Structures are given as C-alpha cells and as structure tokens.
C-alpha cells in the first residue's frame, strides 16, 4: 500500500531529496514522480564492478572521481535525478555531498527491462548535459558495449562485441578493453 501511495503522489524536488535521504530503497525522480530502482542481477553487478575498478585504476592520479550506482546525477535541474550505474566526475564537482552536477562519463548496464529507458530517456538526458563527453550502454545479456562520444557539437556512435576489442574514452584519455568489462561474466 505504501509503495502505491508513493507512486500516486507528485513530489517537489525538496520533498524527493528529503524522502530519498531516509528511504531504504533508491528512487529516481522524473517530473515529480518517484521511480523505485529495482535490485540488479549478479551479472549487472559484476559488469558494473569491473567497469568501476577499471576506471579507478586507469584514472589514478588524474583529476577525476568514479562513483557507482549509489550517487545521484541531476540531469534536468528541478525535474530529473538519475542513478547511473557508473559516473566519472571532475574532482572539483563538490557542490553537494549526494548529488553530482557535472559528470563527464556516464555508464548504464542495461537489462531487458531497462534497455528502453537507457537508450531513450536517459540517453537524451545525459547527452543534453554540457559536461557529458561520453555515455556507455553496456549489455548484460551478451558482450556489447555501445559508446556515444561528443566531438564538438556532434555525437559519434560505435559499438563493440568482441572480448578482444578495445575502445577509447577520449575525455579521460584512456582505452578500455571489452574483455575487462566482461571479465568473469562471458
């Protein structure tokens, strides 16, 4: 009953942030609606962990921080807050202790249920942020890493399906291996 009441109510941003600070379950916020975040599969968790670890090691000593799915990203001020699976953020994004305002890279590990939102709503929200330079959509069903990268005012798309493939994340000046993303999974 409580979950139904939460879903029927329209929240302000302040109400959402207060509610979320005390909630045992995470919620994304989209135009006043709270969207409960389901638990992730073991595969998604392993893939996300692999990406997090790879980025942390590659960015050691560089002016970036890497956050996992427990930190919010404000995508549309006053309207939308998301929980990307992984974010890379400049170390000087310190405006808030629980919310990122200027992510450089976002990563979503997609499932059958989240694929539509990851490829549509989140895609449009993330690439509209002037700070975002790269968005990765990573499948947990098969080896597939989709890479969207900003080049000036345009976005480039590439995808990688072989565990021996590698791809650059230009904004971070690093190269990632698809095999590292899926280590222990496929």
Indicate whether 5 pLDDT > 60.
no
**Helical segments of 138-184, H only:** 178-181
Q: Please state the pTM of the whole predicted model.
A: 0.92
CA distance 186 to 166: 16
Beta strands across the sheet bearing 33-36: 33-36, 27-30, 80-82, 72-76, 99-100
* Percent of residues in the chain assigned helix, strand, coil, to nearest 5: 30, 35, 40
CA distance 32 to 15: 9
Pairing type for strands 27-30 and 86-90 reads: unpaired
The CA distances from residue 116 to 110, 120, 149, in Å, are: 9, 6, 20
More confident site: 53 or 41: 53
The pLDDT of 33-56, averaged and rounded, is: 94
Closest CA to 38 of 52, 47, 28: 28
pLDDT band at 52 (very low <50, low <70, confident <90, very high): very high
Percent of all residues in the chain with a pLDDT value above 90, rounded to a whole number? 85
φ, ψ of residue 57 in degrees (nearest 5): -65, -45
**Exposed/middle/buried for residue 77 (C-beta within 10 Å: 0-12, 13-18, 19+):** exposed
Indicate whether 19 pLDDT > 80.
yes
Indicate whether 1 pLDDT > 50.
no
pLDDT for res 6: 56
Ramachandran class of 32: left when φ > 0, alpha when ψ lies in -120 to 50, beta otherwise:
left
Domains and CATH numbers, the chain: 41-182 (3.90.1570.10)
């Amino acid at each position: 009953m409580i979950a139904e009441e939460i879903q029927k109510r329209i929240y302000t941003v302040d109400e959402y942030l207060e509610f979320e600070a005390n909630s045992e379950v995470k919620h994304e916020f989209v135009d006043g609606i709270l969207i409960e975040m389901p638990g992730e599969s073991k595969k998604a968790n392993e893939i996300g962990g692999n990406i997090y670890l790879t980025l942390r090691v590659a960015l050691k000593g560089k002016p970036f921080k890497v956050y996992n799915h427990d930190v919010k990203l404000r995508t549309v001020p006053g309207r939308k807050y998301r929980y990307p699976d992984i974010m890379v953020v400049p170390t000087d994004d310190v405006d808030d202790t629980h919310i990122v305002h200027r992510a450089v890279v976002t990563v979503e590990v997609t499932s059958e249920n989240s694929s539509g939102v990851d490829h549509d709503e989140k895609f449009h929200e993330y690439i509209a942020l002037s700070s975002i330079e790269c968005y990765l959509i990573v499948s947990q069903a098969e080896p597939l890493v989709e890479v969207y990268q900003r080049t000036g005012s345009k976005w480039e798309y590439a995808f990688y399906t072989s565990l021996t493939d590698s791809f650059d994340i230009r904004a971070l000046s690093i190269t990632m291996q698809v095999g590292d993303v899926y280590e222990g999974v496929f």
